[in-house]
Amino acid sequence: MATSMQKLVGVSQEDDEEEMEMDVKEEDDEDEENGEKQIAAQMMIGVDEVMPSTSSSDQFQYQPQLQEQVSNQSGGGGARRSRPLEEKERTKLRERHRRAITARILAGLRRHGNYNLRVRADINDVIAALAREAGWVVLPDGTTFPSRSQSSPAAGTSAGMTSSSSQMVSQQIPPPPATLQGVSSGYRTTVEYNACRMKGVFMPTPSPYDLSSTAPAQSLGVVADGGEQTERLPLIAGSTQVINDKQIIGLPTKLPERDFAGTSYVPVYVMLPLGVINMKCELADPDGLLKQLRVLKSINVDGVMVDCWWGIVEAHAPQEYNWNGYQRLFQMVRELKLKLQVVMSFHECGGNVGDDVCIPLPHWVAEIGRSNPEIFFTDREGRRNPECLSWEIDKERVLRGRTAVEVYFDYMRSFRVEFDEFFEDGIISMVEVGLGPCGELRYPSCPVKHGWRYPGIGEFQCYDQYMLKSLRKAAEMRGHSFWARGPDNAGSYNSQPHETGFFCDGGDYDGYYGRFFLNWYSQVLLNHGDRVLSLAKLAFDGTCITAKLPGIHWWYKAASHAAELTAGYYNPCNRDGYTAIATMLQKHGAALSFSCAEHHILEQQDHLREALADPRGLVWQVLNAAWDVSIPIASENAFLCHDRVGYNTILDNVKPVNDPDGRHFSSFTYHRLSPLLMERQNFMEFERFVKRMHGEAVLDPQV
């Protein structure tokens, strides 16, 4: 690549745009003529194919009909039935707009990107330049392959892609320029632009079941006789079919599967329904639950996970605990020889995606909140969020003479004493400690009840008096007391990064004040997790404890990572925000529970692209941060999953095929037990999934 583009290309951006726009009218007129000729040619081909099978009288009757059809489609009489004039004009406008954008992109690449592109370059030249910079070989006919290959794709393959009336042009889109060192040879996603802070990370070869927008894919253009590309189709390890004398690529009926027989045993748990225990702390449906648990036991599920709700157990008065319903549930689980994962749920249930019951915080806490609403997280507009308590009251005696961490510790200690025999017998295998909304270590930055909708960036939650007091203290220690405020240009819940002055590229998030604020904001999150987990380790000594992180993957490809910043993860493109969290967990011997490990969101591909999302890149950044400090990783699915493709994607992530150290997840929790899961076909797929997680052989690996 040349170093001075203005020397190599003596055409300015404005000249390029003018030339591109001047070509539009000519090419549009040519497209019209070519289109009319192709319609007529296709109709005549139809005549040739029909003639041999008809009698002479049939041919005589057929010719006028054919001529009338051709006349109608090719503009006879000044009217076009198949392509109205208005649609034609709209097409011209879209094409002009597209070409104007292309001209600006090409001019920008010449001027600022050191790409030696010809004046009349098109998108093929851009792709070829990117591919060559990334180390690929691009032949003049468009054939593209990695430079490490000794030969181009077999000629027989391309020959098989050609028919008498149409031609298939296969082109593999190259990945971005490789800048990471020590990365595995698999395809690398857009997370590579974070290379300045992700050295030597492990990125596995993607599964053939990963159809997300970040997975590598080949695309095919169906080219008509005239050379005009008429359709683009994804190529995913498929087979060719001939339809209407044109070859297209279709999805295979059977995708190849990994054989997990003999792989590591990964325990599988099933999360129980949110309302399995009612507000009176009683089992809602003991008989129905017992039947379901027996069915789960019959397919060798290892155990179940259940939320122990603070709002149910300590509902009416401080330190008055009612564990009756949980006692009966745990006895039932023990009799079936299942194991238990329990969640210390110090948050509200209801109002979030997937919540089908309402379980508020304890009544006595709500009473305190009515007289002192500052105990709840607050946004810039002053809206309170009673989903959980503000972290800056961890050391404030505002809960009937106790601090928040004392309340949490008393609750956990009561649970440990109440169910001592289950701990001693190993029935309770893991305790997940709730650290924020939905039990996750994050700020409630995206509350649905306040109008947030995906893919909004959310809002900072730092405007209660206790958080502002902490911010003011931090600003004074820094010597800039005027920094004791939240950002005033960070948008609203449903803003996008480029719409704000704080999160846009080059925005205030990366300025002196922005870095100070984000460092303080994320440190409050770390301090809260550190305090609560230190007490959890004391209460549950000898039992595995975990902390849960969400998968906030939208706007991950934006430089600021805005949605992560508002949630408390200081993880822009020039900083790693997850290493500090993993180090904190390692300090307390805690495992990491991550809820975005399947990254299989096929139905949301359009949304992922619009939101610059990269679930795969986020997953592997978090996993590498955890593995670097050698802490166990547990996982659960973030979305409903009942199909084989989804299960295979989970398996490929739980047991990475090409991890050089043979690492895998410590357990997997299926989210969640429901009548839909118990349907025959769905349950058969789930049983097969459990066997493969356990490393057992299945009878139909290719079915």
User: For residue 530, what are its two tokens?
Assistant: 């550190």
Q: Is the pTM of this model over 0.75?
A: no
pLDDT digits (tens, 9 = 90+) for 116-143: 666 667 777 778 777 777 767 777 667 7
Considering its fold, how many domains does the chain have in total? 1
Q: What is d(CA 602, CA 646) in angstroms, rounded to the nearest whole number?
A: 9
The pLDDT value given to residue 86:
79
Catalytic, out of 17, 192, 432, 636: 636
Q: Is residue 306 part of a domain?
A: yes
**Mean pLDDT across 91-113:** 75
Q: Is residue 554 part of a domain?
A: yes
CATH number, position 547? 3.20.20.80
The pLDDT value given to residue 647:
92
As a whole number of angstroms, the longest Cα–Cα distance in the chain is 102
Q: Is residue 68 part of a domain?
A: no
Q: Which domain holds residue 405?
A: 268-452+526-694
Q: Is residue 635 part of a domain?
A: yes
Q: Is 14 labeled as catalytic in the residue annotation?
A: no
**Mean pLDDT across 18-26:** 45
SS3 266: coil
**Mean pLDDT across 288-301:** 97
pLDDT digits (tens, 9 = 90+) for 569-598: 999 999 999 999 999 999 999 999 998 655
The pLDDT value given to residue 218:
37
The pLDDT value given to residue 606:
67
Asked if residue 77 has pLDDT above 70, the reply is no
Q: Is 636 labeled as catalytic in the residue annotation?
A: yes
Q: Is residue 702 part of a domain?
A: no
* Those residues with Cβ within 8 angstroms of residue 435's Cβ, 6 or more apart along the chain or in another chain: 346, 441, 528, 529, 532, 533, 547, 548
Q: Is residue 45 part of a domain?
A: no
User: For residue 53, what are its two tokens?
Assistant: 């099978």
The pLDDT value given to residue 73:
45
The pLDDT > 90 percentage for the chain reads 55
**Mean pLDDT across 268-294:** 96
* Nearest alpha carbon to residue 410 among 503, 361, 346: 346
Q: Is residue 117 part of a domain?
A: no
The pLDDT value given to residue 118:
64
Q: Could you say which DSSP state residue 185 is in? A: S
pLDDT digits (tens, 9 = 90+) for 203-260: 555 554 444 434 333 333 333 333 333 333 333 233 323 333 333 334 444 557 888 9
Q: What is d(CA 195, CA 181) in angstroms, rounded to the nearest whole number?
A: 8
Catalytic, out of 348, 440, 459, 598: 440
- Angle of the 56-73 helix axis to the 13-50 helix axis, nearest 10: 160
